Amino acid sequence: MKYHIISTSKSRGYGAIFTNAKEAKEYQANHPGSVYQIFERLPAKIPAIGKSQEKIIKPSKDPLSGITVYTDGSALNNPGPGGWGAIIQMHGETREYS
């Protein structure tokens, strides 16, 4: 038995597997830019189109490299109590403190 594999997306690995060549060709005709491959055995992993989209991110050698601090004003010679506030943005989350 032959396996007809149609890969239809560079970024996600979408597609379809057929054992019938006619059905595979019809599917490919409806998905422009797809890649048609034939295998004697079903591969453990469906081949992707183009380069992998996975990126390896190495941690920075400087643990403070991603920290930005903005300051404003001074409390010198202020007769009353001072105030403070902070906004921390991390991992897509925003927290406000005061």
What pLDDT digit, counting tens, does each position of 16-74 carry? 889 999 999 998 898 888 888 898 888 777 666 555 555 666 777 777 777 787 777 77
Q: What is the pLDDT of residue 25?
A: 92
Angstrom distances, CA of residue 24 to CA of 71, 74, 76, 93:
62, 71, 77, 45
Q: Is the pTM of this model over 0.85?
A: no
CA–CA gap between residue 11 and residue 98 (Å, rounded): 43
Q: Is 77's pLDDT higher than 90?
A: no
